[in-house]
């Protein structure tokens, strides 16, 4: 049985931004994960998001496949994604999901999103758009605190163009409860690190999320992440790890089947496509040179999507 982690708890309502930034700095050094409380997203809105998510995933597969993923928006069926491309099994992860892309920007960008029929789910779109905007607000607050934690101007990432064209994604996730007919090696989400800057996650309280603090450990040691009601679980993504020259870690995590139906909602903060991610001057030195070459956000994310999906960036 895995041990249960005691992750740091960050209170976003604190008026002492310096203290909060220091706490986030330590959490990113030690775990790459932390809980976020008093984030300002209403409990009632979170409940509505889960309610609308359940309604969508309860639809017949024929109805869901009408919204099959295009341009990385829409529905992804069970086993269509394998987040760990090195996993020995040929079967994908035991989850289904729905991606919603940027709501801001030009009309072409807005039109890329797919929405369920208003006749079937009349409150679905408005609920998801409201949550998206609230999660984006919270995410930007965390990014400014991360900048302070790195001894940068709090608007540093905005000034270098990380937010010039929104590239953030909301993802609804559903993990079936009954996987008895499948191989024991099948996971709800196979071992992976997230791809962008940071991720905000909220779950319906069913366990299953685990993290491995040391990527290079063999065998890997997995620890359970406990649920805190209505708190966001925040984790560092790969591009933030690259920016910080591995000072802040993008920690491996996975979801294991626990025999119960599980829902979660993830919000991924990604830099603008053209934003170049390169080691911050404060995170490298002669004795610790940059570990990664500069790369555009789009080029990095395209490669990660190609590895995770058979159809690539569809």
DSSP classification of residue 204: -
87 versus 120: the higher-pLDDT residue is 120
Q: Is 230 helix (H, G, I), strand (E, B) or coil?
A: coil
pLDDT tens across 98-111, in order?
999 998 555 555 57
Whether this prediction's pTM lies above 0.85 is answered by yes
Per-residue pLDDT reduced to its tens digit, 7-52 = 999 999 999 999 999 999 999 999 999 999 999 999 999 999 999 9
Residue 218 pLDDT: 80
Q: What is the average per-residue pLDDT within 163-183?
A: 84
What mean pLDDT is reported for the chain?
A: 91
190 contacts: CB under 8 Å, gap ≥ 6: 82, 83, 84, 87, 93, 254
Q: Which residue has the higher pLDDT, 181 or 242?
A: 242
For position 179, what pLDDT does the model report?
A: 65
Cis peptide before 219 (omega within 30 of 0): yes
Percent of the chain with pLDDT over 90: 75
- pLDDT level of residue 302 (50, 70, 90 thresholds): confident
Domains and CATH numbers, the chain: 4-308 (2.60.120.330)
CA-based torsion, 215, 189, 296, 240: positive or negative = negative
What pLDDT shows up at residue 85?
Answer: 81
Task: Dump pLDDT digits (tens) for 109-120.
Answer: 557 899 999 999
Mean pLDDT of 279-298: 92
**Tokens linked to 248:** 């802040």
Q: CA 304 from chain center: how many Å?
A: 14
Mean pLDDT check: name the lowest of 87-91, 255-259, 267-271. 87-91
């Amino acid at each position: 049985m895995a041990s249960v982690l005691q992750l740091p708890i960050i209170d976003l309502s604190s008026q002492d931004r310096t203290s909060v930034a220091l706490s986030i700095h330590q959490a990113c050094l030690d775990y790459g994960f932390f809980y976020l409380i008093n984030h300002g997203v209403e409990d009632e809105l979170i409940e509505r998001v889960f309610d609308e998510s359940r309604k969508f995933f309860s639809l017949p597969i024929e109805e869901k496949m009408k919204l099959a993923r295009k341009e990385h928006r829409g529905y992804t069926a069970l086993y269509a994604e394998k987040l760990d491309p090195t996993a020995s099994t040929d079967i994908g992860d035991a989850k289904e999901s729905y991606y919603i892309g940027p709501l801001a920007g030009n009309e072409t960008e807005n039109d890329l999103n797919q929405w369920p029929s208003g006749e079937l789910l009349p409150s679905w779109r408005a609920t998801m758009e409201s949550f998206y905007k609230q999660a984006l607000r919270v995410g930007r607050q965390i990014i400014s605190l991360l900048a302070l934690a790195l001894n940068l101007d709090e608007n540093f990432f905005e000034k270098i163009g990380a937010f010039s064209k929104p590239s953030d994604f909301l993802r609804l996730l559903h993990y079936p409860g009954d996987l008895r007919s499948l191989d024991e090696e099948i996971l709800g989400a196979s071992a992976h690190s997230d791809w962008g800057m940071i991720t905000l996650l909220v779950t319906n309280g069913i366990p299953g999320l685990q993290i491995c603090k040391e990527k290079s450990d063999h065998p890997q040691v997995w620890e359970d992440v406990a649920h805190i009601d209505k708190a966001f679980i925040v984790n560092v993504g790969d591009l933030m790890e690259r920016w910080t020259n591995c000072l802040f870690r993008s920690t491996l995590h996975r979801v294991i089947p626990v025999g119960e139906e599980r829902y979660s909602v993830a919000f991924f903060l990604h830099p603008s496509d053209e934003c170049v991610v390169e080691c911050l001057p404060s995170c490298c030195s002669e004795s610790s040179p940059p570990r990664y070459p500069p790369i555009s956000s789009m080029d990095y994310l395209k490669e990660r999507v190609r590895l995770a999906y058979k159809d690539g960036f569809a």
